[in-house]
């Protein structure tokens, strides 16, 4: 459940490529259509909540769903449609990527959307995967260190998700650590920062990879590690290309 990216590097397009790479079948409920590229979002139009709901209903009626991921949801009405459909159909583990803006500029969630996401989706989530700016929006404070990431993860857990993965790509330094907070303890997933500017869609790809691994039966820790390594391989290929 995410927006369409006309550039093809993020959103539904990135999700479906990632599902295929992990060997699972991907279906899509498109929540928005965007005109964007690697430089930023030029325009966006949110799909009506009724049509979003009808897409979810159609998929749930046809297949057994192993896991769900959400990306760009656009506004509070679409979030409500997604949450109500998720509960009614008793869908699988929910990975929430709390997308608020494109990596290279452009708002992807209206002002009323964040409170709706917090109140309606996070309590349903098996995992929420904010980057540092998104985590800062959720906790209302600055995050610039590993210690602050741990404190933020504790706060976000109180909003209802079963687990929290805070992505550390915005930290300074040679490392790009992600923090998985689950079962009341931290687990660091480490990686070296790679010399590439081609980071458009990495958050979408990561959350899609985690959902694919959960659908295939991985536990949360293994799913996050496998997805992180997949993103790193993709970035490594771009850095060396």
User: What is the per-residue pLDDT for 241?
Assistant: 56
Confidence band, pLDDT 50/70/90 cuts, at residue 201: confident
User: To the nearest whole percent, how much of the chain has pLDDT over 70?
Assistant: 94
User: What is the per-residue pLDDT for 171?
Assistant: 79
Active site residues: 167, 199, 201-204
Least confident of 65-74, 162-171, 177-186: 162-171
Sign of the torsion formed by the C-alpha atoms of 200, 112, 123 and 19: negative
Q: Give φ, ψ of 163 to 5 degrees.
A: -150, 160
Judge whether 102 and 62 are in contact, CB under 8 Å: no
Q: What does the pLDDT look like over 28-44, one tens digit per residue?
A: 999 999 998 888 889 99
Q: What does the pLDDT look like over 106-158, one tens digit per residue?
A: 678 888 899 999 999 999 999 999 999 999 999 999 999 999 999 999 999 99
Judge whether 29 and 6 are in contact, CB under 8 Å: no
Question: CA 114, CA 121: separation in Å to the nearest integer?
Answer: 10
Question: CA 167, CA 207: separation in Å to the nearest integer?
Answer: 11
Residue 104 has pLDDT above 90, yes or no: no
Top mean pLDDT of 76-85, 187-196, 227-236 is at 76-85
Over range 5-30, report the average pLDDT.
96
First to last CA, the chain: 31
Residue 54 has pLDDT above 80, yes or no: yes
Q: Is 90 exposed, middle or buried (0-12, 13-18, 19+ CB in 10 A)?
A: exposed
| Burial profile 146-164: b = 16 or more Cβ within 10 angstroms, e = fewer | bebbbebbeebbebebbbb
Q: Which domains can be identified in the chain, with CATH numbers?
A: 2-240 (3.40.1190.20)
């Amino acid at each position: 459940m995410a927006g369409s990216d006309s550039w093809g590097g993020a959103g539904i397009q990135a999700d479906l490529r990632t599902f295929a790479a992990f060997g699972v079948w991907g279906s899509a409920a498109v929540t928005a259509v965007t005109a964007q590229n690697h430089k930023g979002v030029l325009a966006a139009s949110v799909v009506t909540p009724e049509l979003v709901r009808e897409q979810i209903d159609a998929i749930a009626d046809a297949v057994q769903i192993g896991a769900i991921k959400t990306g760009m949801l656009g506004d509070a009405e679409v979030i409500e449609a997604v949450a109500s459909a998720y509960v009614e159909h008793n869908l699988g583990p929910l990975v929430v990527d709390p997308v608020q803006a494109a990596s290279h500029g452009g708002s992807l969630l209206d002002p009323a959307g964040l409170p709706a996401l917090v109140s309606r989706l996070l309590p349903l989530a098996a995992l929420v995967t904010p980057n540092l700016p998104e985590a800062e929006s959720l906790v209302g404070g600055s995050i610039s260190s590993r210690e602050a990431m741990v404190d933020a993860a504790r706060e976000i857990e109180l909003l209802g998700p079963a687990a929290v993965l805070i992505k550390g790509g915005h930290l300074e330094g040679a490392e790009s650590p992600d923090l998985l907070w689950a079962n009341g303890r931290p687990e660091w997933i480490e990686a070296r920062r790679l010399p590439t500017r081609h980071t458009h869609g990495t958050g979408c790809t990561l959350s899609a990879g985690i959902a694919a691994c959960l659908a295939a039966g991985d536990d949360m820790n293994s799913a996050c590690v496998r997805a992180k390594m997949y993103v790193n391989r993709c970035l490594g290929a771009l850095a060396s290309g």
